[in-house]
Amino acid sequence: MKPHQKFRLGNQVESIAVRQAGDGTYYSELTDIQDTFPNALKFKIDGVTLVYLQDKHGNRYNPLRIEHCPDDVIDIVVDPLAHGPVFISTTFINQYASSTTANPAQPEPYFADVVQQSTAALTVAPNTTIYAASSSTDNHLNHNPLTTLDTIAKTAMQTLQMVQHSATQNAANHQEMMAPLIRTFEHTTQVLQHTNQLLQGQENARIRDEEMHRMQQQTIDRLVATQERVDALLIQNYELHEYPIPRRFIILPDSYNTLDPRRVVSQRYRLYFLCECGEHCSADADNVESPGSIPIKNQVHLANHEGYELTRPTEFYSRYGPYILGLLRILKHCLAVTAVAAPAVFLAHNQVGSVMQGVESVAKNTMELAINSSINFLEQRLENSEAAENVANLQQMQSGDGATDIISDLKMLEGADLRRLDTFLRNKDKDKILGNLYRIVTTKGHVKWVCLKHYQASYRVSAMKAFIQTVETTGGTYDPHLGKVTITLKSGTVSKNFFTNLVDQALAVTELDVALNWSFGSSDLSHLVKKLAQSNVMALRLNLMDDSNALTGLAPGIDYIPKYRPLIKLFSSNTLQRLDLVGADSFGNKTPSLSKDQQDLRSLHVYGSTGDLIAKFVDFVQACPLIPSMTDVVFIDVPDLHRGIPDIIRASSAILQVLVLAVSSPTNEPSDLSVFRPDLSYSKLTHLHLALDLTTSSLQQLALVLPTLSLIHFGADHRSKGLLPYVNFTSLRSLSLDGMDKTDLNPIFEAFLVKRQPCQLETMTLALIGNIGRLPDLLRAIRLKQLYLFRLGSGALRKILRALNLCELTVLNILDTGYDWFTEENIATRNQEFTDQLRLYLGRPQLKEADIRFLENVVEKILKGVYSEKSRTLQGSSTKLPRSRVHLLEPSLVVKQSWQSILPNVYP
């Protein structure tokens, strides 16, 4: 029999299980005793009061403990205020009455009953004692029954007077004792109110100061931005006029085949423009390139052009020679550190090799020879090293700075010199090709001349910036790491502009989460589908925000949803790889058969849709030729499991990674999942969540397959709990359990508490757990990072919070539980164990119909209780968490968080 301790309160005797300490001794915990005897205060054995146990440091344990006495029954002493009134004993009256029953002629029984009833109703204070008459009096009264009755009546009257006097005196003493206490309480209440007013005033002042500081900072930022725009406009106006043609150019020998270093003076030279690429051409600097794209190297390189022959070279060298010589010396250094690149002429990406149109192929040594030849030529033509003032410091070159930065330090040519340059070109560039360079303007207003590739990159950056600004203005967000846009559209005009810009400006967007929050029509959806087909979006989550109740009561047989028909084309898209339809309750009621054209869907996610839509969609998926490419099969909150779903699972068994089946309502017949046969390989399966009723054969087959799977997540509810004994717990990182008790959880306790198997669990979801059993011990033993607790009793929740291992916990999510200030105290007292990232997410309570009668009390609780944002201080205390650690959420968001913890792409 399990070790226990017997406790007694009056005539009630209960046996309560004991706990075992680390040294093997047994003890009883005060909280366990108070679950059965709520008013238990002290404990006695044979009149001796037991003391609470202490640890090795002489401190009492928390919660309090008492020693285990298996051979004794421990009497419980309760709070004196919990006692009822003490009734007066009527033994002496019964004695008198029994002595007169021998004479039936007298009516003693009647009077005895009257007196007995009267005296039985009297109460006295606990310290008052009433004594019976002496034995001598009893003998005297036995001789005269009437005298006996009279004496009894007088005695009862005296007793009543004594009781009344005692009650009056006790009431006076009580009032006298309570008066100072009441005054002290009133004074304390006033002090607290005054203190709260001061604190509230300080808090309001702090909030006003922060708001003023924020507004001042915004004003300063706007002024700075305005000044920067003004400066950029001034610079732009100046440079557009001063730099009508490219301003960076060099000369190189006209022919490389006959290049002779000894004959540099007699060589013919051509003018080549340089691409002014830099950070303004870098897509990486703005984080707008799509994942996996090849970045364009922003290295100094020659323009993709055959160059220009020079007329009047002597005058040309005299005017531009110092500037060109400075550029050549810088390029010579850059070539030594492989910082110069000429994808258009001399150098390919990170290597010397290919040559673009109209230019001969040269090797790196030939490029060096050409530059050296040009430098020697100019040095001989220029006297007294006139170029010295234009050459960058050699130490700065050797520091490894980029070529663009070094060239920026070189003294630039003025506008007049640039405009005169055209006169020195033999063919005068009649077509204004300008070395195949394109003019751009940076955000700071500077004019740059760049090649076609860098021009296109700059345009994409600018366009993407404009698109992101539009998204943020509309209230959406953009994640550059995922290339994902999340947005809610509230009108047809905003929707058309958004999807048009998505095609024209947002080539980097590959994932889209969009909600349509207005009364849209068929034309809106047609435009949406058309633009999505032209975009780079591969993963789409479309929330139609449809309400199936809107169709209730309408005449049958009428098609009320023709506007949904354009969405049919999404299912046959050649670009979409994942499609999530949310809030589509009415979609599919009267839609035509889905197209079975070639498609590339790899993920099938359905949330809370009608049975008619599921049937059509499953039939469509089964008919598609690319079904074996399905990696995710997710059905959440569906009315039943369609008969075609097992066929999809079977066809995708070799590559299936995620399988989530959650049936919202109990079906008449269990679902058949006999596809989990040993001859089918499910080696890729990592996430398995089954919340539905299964046939016996399905359970048997799953019992054979589950031990062979190395799952990352497993989920089950009360209908599929029979699978728990067969799960390989050692590989799990996430576990979801719903509607179970301690007996169902024994396989988990056995794995981690008895066998001590390695545990990798990081996330756990516990919902509607009955008798939690050893669950607190399990949560104390494992190191979770996220814990979700739904629909638990207050007692179970407090035990879990007292035992929970907090050393790595970052998310604690609580919904629909008995959460109150006493519960929060259990975790607030452990604030020294918190991680910096720990946050508590509380689901706001929702009023039910039964609560309407107590609406005022509920509102008061919400405004001043645990679900109020202002009920906690910034610093927190030993009974309340700091305000920064508690976040209040709507219940739907709490559930969404739990699904996202299982798999980021799976949420209703």
pLDDT 10s digits, 682-691: 888 999 999 9
- 420 or 628: whose pLDDT is higher? 420
Give the pLDDT confidence score for residue 325 in this predicted structure.
86
Which residues are CB-neighbours of 778 under 8 A, at least 6 positions away?
A: 745, 748, 749, 752, 753
- Tokens 């607030």 locate to 828
Indicate the pTM of the whole model: 0.49
Q: Give the integer Cα–Cα distance in Å for 692 and 365.
A: 73
Q: Is the pLDDT of residue 137 over 80?
A: no
* Residue 464 · residue 506 · CB < 8 Å: yes
Q: Is the pLDDT of residue 274 over 70?
A: yes
Give the pLDDT confidence score for residue 111 in this predicted structure.
39
Q: Is the pLDDT of residue 498 over 60?
A: yes
* Residue 610 · residue 585 · CB < 8 Å: yes
Give the pLDDT confidence score for residue 245 in this predicted structure.
79
* Residue 94 · residue 116 · CB < 8 Å: yes
Give the pLDDT confidence score for residue 867 in this predicted structure.
82
- 856 or 198: whose pLDDT is higher? 198
Supply 898's token pair: 């739990």
* Strands 4-9 and 886-889, bridge-based pairing: unpaired
Residue 768, judged by CB atoms within 10 A of its CB (0-12, 13-18, 19+), counts as: middle
Sign of CA dihedral 220, 225, 228, 229: negative
The total of other beta-carbon atoms located within 10 Å of residue 90's CB is 21
Give the phi and the psi of residue 369 in degrees, each rounded to 5. -65, -40
Maximum pairwise Cα distance, the chain = 163
* Strands 839-843 and 811-815, bridge-based pairing: parallel
Q: Is the pLDDT of residue 42 over 80?
A: yes
Most confident of the following: 29-33, 112-116, 150-154, 872-876: 29-33
In the chain, where are the structural domains located? 4-82, 86-220, 243-460
The pLDDT of 514-537, averaged and rounded, is 90
Q: Is the pLDDT of residue 297 over 60?
A: no
* Residue 426 · residue 358 · CB < 8 Å: no
Can you say whether residue 223 is alpha, beta or left, with left for phi > 0 and alpha for psi between -120 and 50 degrees?
alpha
In 3D space, the residue among 560, 498, 487, 551 whose CA is nearest the CA of residue 524 turns out to be 498
Q: Is the pLDDT of residue 163 over 50?
A: yes
Q: Give the integer Cα–Cα distance in Å for 409 and 686.
A: 57
pLDDT tens track for 354-401: 333 333 344 455 677 778 888 888 887 776 444 444 444 444 444 444
pLDDT tens track for 803-852: 999 999 999 999 877 788 889 999 999 999 999 999 999 987 665 444 44
Which residues are CB-neighbours of 213 under 8 A, at least 6 positions away?
A: none
Give the pLDDT confidence score for residue 809 in this predicted structure.
96
Give the phi and the psi of residue 352 in degrees, each rounded to 5. -90, 130
- 147 or 803: whose pLDDT is higher? 803
Supply 42's token pair: 């002290």
Bridge partners of 20, per DSSP, are 26
Give the pLDDT confidence score for residue 181 in this predicted structure.
85
pLDDT tens track for 199-229: 888 888 989 998 899 899 988 988 888 888 7
- 670 or 482: whose pLDDT is higher? 670
Q: Please report which confidence band the pLDDT of residue 612 belongs to, taking 50, 70 and 90 as the band edges.
A: low
Give the phi and the psi of residue 153 in degrees, each rounded to 5. -65, -45
DSSP summary character for residue 469: H
Q: Give the integer Cα–Cα distance in Å for 804 and 781.
A: 8
Give the pLDDT confidence score for residue 411 in this predicted structure.
61
Q: Is the pLDDT of residue 20 over 60?
A: yes
Which residues are CB-neighbours of 780 under 8 A, at least 6 positions away?
A: 803, 804, 805
In 3D space, the residue among 676, 680, 679, 714 whose CA is nearest the CA of residue 697 turns out to be 676
Most confident of the following: 161-170, 659-668, 766-775, 856-865: 766-775
Give the pLDDT confidence score for residue 95 in this predicted structure.
46
Supply 590's token pair: 């009267």
Rg (CA), the chain: 44
The pLDDT of 331-336, averaged and rounded, is 70
Q: Which of 532-546, 621-635, 755-769 has the lowest mean pLDDT?
A: 621-635
